[in-house]
């Protein structure tokens, strides 16, 4: 089975694990493969939809010709069974011939298999990958998919937090909350949730550090400050930290011998 990795980078390997470099060196045809893989939950796409996304600058006849050439190229490189069609107007990928991590991630989310979903999500869709010769329409679609998958990954991480909290396991909940905030760093409600978890765990230094990171981000990127609700939460954390440090320790200082 062909393996297509798109989350956190890009990799394409055949059934023997060998890189399929001939496709990786063809940006637009690679983009077509990624597109068909990500919409594969709907199985087929109309040809007119595909050509308008990848060859908007061409008239219909030449755009369809470019699509036919791209499909022939993909079949030659990956196997004739990979790209399939339904009738003359729809094409898609054979799910038994190619595995895509983003597609599996979506299925894991739909099945509420949060552990598998978080394992699969290794980073943004095509992170750090520049697809030359991509149309503005494709770039717009790609950015929308990146955001959609990132939102689902954030929700999956918070779901892992809820599982851990129900079990009373704050040690496990804390790193999942950190990951959720990393995925959605502007979500102030999420930052407050992380602060509360760290505070309940007794990691007040970590809670204050999370707040400072958020405060600096708001100031640097947006010239804004955290909300009064967040500031009030952090003030309470600081007050508890001060009370702990000021509380006298029983038996200290040690008493010397008397008489």
For residue 98, pLDDT over 50 is answered with yes
Q: Check pLDDT > 50 for residue 109.
A: yes
Mean pLDDT of the region 125-141 = 84
How large is the average pLDDT for residues 134-149? Answer: 90
Q: What is the pLDDT of residue 237?
A: 92
Contact 2, 14 (CB under 8 A): yes
Say if residue 14's pLDDT is above 50.
Answer: yes
Compute the distance between CA of residue 89 and CA of residue 163 in angstroms, rounded to an integer. Answer: 45
Q: What is the mean pLDDT of residues 160-168?
A: 97
The pair phi, psi for residue 143, each rounded to 5°, is -65, -40
Is the predicted pLDDT of residue 254 greater than 80, yes or no?
no
Residue 178 CA neighbour count, 13 Å, CB half:
13
**For the chain, what is the HEC assignment?**
CEEEECECCCEEECCCCCECHHHHCCHHHHHHHHHHHHCHHHCEEEHHHHHHHHCCCCCHHHHHHHHHHHHHHHHHHHCCCCEEEECCCEEEECCCCEEEHHHHHHHHHHCCCHHHHHHHCCCCECCCCCCCCCCHHHHHHHHHHHHHHHHHHHHHHHHHHHHHHHCCCHHHHHHHHHHHHHHCCCCHHHHHHHHHHHHHHCCHHHHHHHHHHHHHHHHHHHCCCCCHHHHHHHHHHHHHHHHHHHCCCCCCCCCCCCC
Burial of 144 by CB count in 10 Å (0-12 exposed, 13-18 middle, 19+ buried)?
exposed
Q: Are 77 and 85 in contact (CB under 8 A)?
A: no
Predicted pLDDT of residue 137: 86
Q: Specify which of 66-75, 84-93, 125-134, 156-165 reaches the highest per-range mean pLDDT.
A: 156-165
Residue 131 has pLDDT above 90, yes or no: no
Whether pLDDT at 234 is above 90: yes
Output the pLDDT for position 6.
94
- What is the per-residue pLDDT across 171-199, written as a single tens digit (0 to 9) for each? 999 999 999 999 999 999 999 999 999 99
Distance from C-alpha of 24 to C-alpha of 84, rounded to nearest angstrom: 20
Rounded-to-integer distance, Cα 208 and Cα 83, Å: 52
Looking at residue 40, what is its pLDDT?
60
pLDDT above 50 (res 103): yes
Average pLDDT, the chain: 89
Note the pLDDT of residue 258: 46
103-123 average pLDDT score: 96
Q: In whole angstroms, give the CA distance from residue 251 to residue 93.
A: 73
Unique residue bearing structure tokens 């409600």: 189
Percent of the chain topping pLDDT 70: 92
pLDDT, tens only, 23-81: 888 888 888 999 999 886 557 888 988 998 888 888 989 999 999 999 999 999 999 88
- As given in the structure block, the two tokens for residue 239 are 């007050």
Tell me, what's the pLDDT at 250?
Answer: 47
Q: How many CB atoms lie within 10 A of CB 128?
A: 9
What pLDDT, on the 0 to 100 scale, is given for residue 244?
Answer: 52
Which pair of structure tokens corresponds to residue 211? 């707040």
List the domains of the chain with CATH numbers: 2-111 (1.10.10), 136-246 (1.25.40.10)
């Amino acid at each position: 089975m062909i393996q297509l990795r798109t989350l956190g980078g890009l990799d394409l390997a055949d059934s023997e694990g060998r890189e399929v470099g001939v496709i990786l060196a063809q940006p637009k045809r690679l983009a077509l493969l990624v597109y068909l893989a990500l919409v594969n939950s709907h199985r087929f796409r109309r040809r007119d939809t595909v050509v308008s996304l990848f060859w908007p600058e061409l008239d219909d006849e030449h755009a369809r010709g470019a699509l036919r050439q791209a499909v022939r190229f993909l079949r030659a490189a990956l196997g004739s069974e990979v790209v399939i069609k339904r009738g003359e107007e729809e094409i898609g990928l054979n799910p038994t011939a190619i595995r895509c991590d983003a597609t599996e991630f979506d299925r894991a989310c739909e099945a509420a298999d949060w552990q598998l979903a978080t394992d699969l999500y290794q980073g943004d869709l095509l992170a750090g990958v520049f697809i030359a010769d991509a149309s503005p329409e494709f770039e717009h679609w790609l950015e929308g998919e990146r955001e959609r998958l990132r939102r689902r990954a954030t929700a999956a991480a918070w779901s892992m937090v809820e599982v851990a909290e129900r079990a009373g396991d704050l040690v496990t909940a804390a790193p999942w909350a950190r990951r959720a905030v990393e995925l959605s760093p502007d979500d102030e409600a999420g930052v407050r949730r992380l602060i509360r978890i760290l505070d309940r765990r007794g990691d007040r230094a970590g809670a204050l550090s999370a707040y400072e990171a958020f405060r600096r981000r708001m100031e640097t990127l947006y010239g804004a400050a955290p909300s009064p609700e967040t500031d009030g939460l952090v003030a309470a954390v600081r007050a508890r930290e001060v009370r702990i440090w000021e509380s006298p320790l029983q038996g200290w200082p040690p008493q010397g011998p008397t008489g």
